[in-house]
Amino acid sequence: MTSTKTTTTKPAASHKTSEQISSKLAYLARALKTPTIGRVWEDLANRARDENWAHEEYLAAVLERQVADRESAGTTMRIRTAHFPQVKTLEDFNLDHLPSLRKDLLAHLATSTFVAKTENVILLGPPGIGKTHLAIGLGVKAAHAGYSVLFDTANNWITRLATAHHAGALETELKKIRRYKLIIVDEIGYIPFDTDAANLFFQLVASRYEQGSIMVTSNLPFGRWGETFGDDVVAAAMIDRLVHHAEVLTLSGNSYRTHGRRDLLHQGERHNQDND
């Protein structure tokens, strides 16, 4: 008996037409809620036939595409719910402009392990140096790594806490905020807090201590936080908790905003000279 004969004489009980397979796979992909599989199985099957993939290889390729799509959908969702004022990336950040930024430390922070370890990040430096950009960029990295992130300005955080406090629901609110693995508090120091606000902010920091990460940006060095919090004791107690497990990046240099303007200015000068 030749092998050809064996295959032709065997009843094709399990052989289905390609339409039947197609509709069955479409049904299964829907039932499993795996739309990517429904979309890619056919093209990959053709490739698998052309390139003689093993069955296992084909299965892995199909599943891999589904997992990749699911992960990227999760990342997109986490970036959307983080409420970044704008999406900025570390890749868009010009490191040459900021020699005071330790590149090894930035690379370490970009791995998001600080979030897993519930450590904090503090970005200090003058206006326009890139603190908000870096905070968003690191937040985006954390979202990619699978961590939930929530961004807001210090002022908005205070408003949120004050509203909850007045409604007698501060604890509930702090608990809700603790669901985020990383919160970003932008612009501490621009607007001074009154005593109530300072106390609320202290409670936020205390409630996350060793439980969730906080990233803060400030134009003021720690020594001047007392001015913002209206009270050196509250400021010191808060800084103490904030920096206990934290990376502090103190940035110095020229504002990126002015640097851009200076370039324009020079272009203008050159232009004027050309016209002279």
| Residue 208 lies near ligand ADP (rule: CB under 6 A) | no
Residue 256 contacts ligand ADP per CB under 6 A: yes
Judged by CB under 6 A, which of 128, 146, 226, 230 binds ligand ADP? 128
CA 7 to chain centre: 55
Find, among 138, 132, 130, the residue nearest to 254 by Cα.
Answer: 130
Q: How far is the CB of 261 from Mg ion (least distance, A)?
A: 17
Q: Would you say the C-alpha torsion 34, 36, 40, 42 has a positive or negative sign?
A: positive
- Kindly tell me which residue out of 33, 80, 83, 97 binds ligand ADP, with binding defined by CB under 6 A: 97
User: Looking only at Cα atoms, what is the longest distance across the chain?
Assistant: 97
Q: How is residue 221 written in tokens? A: 């060095």
Interface region with ligand ADP, contact rule CB under 6 A, candidates 25-33, 88-96, 204-212, 268-276: 88-96
Interaction between residue 189 and ligand ADP (CB under 6 A): no
Q: Please state the closest distance from residue 247 (CB atom) to ligand ADP, in A.
A: 17
Among the listed ranges 3-11, 55-63, 129-137, 171-179, the one in contact with Mg ion (CB under 5 A) is 129-137
| Residues linked to residue 250 through DSSP beta bridges, in sequence order | 124
Stretch that binds ligand ADP, among 22-30, 76-84, 130-138, 203-211 (CB under 6 A): 130-138
Residue 153 makes contact with Mg ion by CB under 5 A: no
Per the CB < 8 A criterion, the answer to whether 111 and 247 are in contact is: no
- Residue 219 φ then ψ, to 5°: -85, -5
Q: Does 181 bind ligand ADP (CB under 6 A)?
A: no
Q: Is 17 exposed, middle or buried, given 0-12, 13-18 or 19+ CB atoms closer than 10 A?
A: exposed
What is the spatial distance between Cα 253 and Cα 77, in angstroms, rounded to a whole number? 35
Nearer to ligand ADP, 65 or 133 (CB): 133
Least Å from the CB of residue 218 to ligand ADP: 10
User: Minimal distance in Å, beta carbon 186 to Mg ion?
Assistant: 6
Query: Which residues have CB under 8 Å from 176's CB, separation 6+?
Result: none
Q: Which of 65, 121, 130, 145 binds ligand ADP (CB under 6 A)?
A: 130
Residues contributing to the site for ligand ADP (CB under 6 A): 88, 93-94, 97-98, 125, 127-133, 217, 256-257
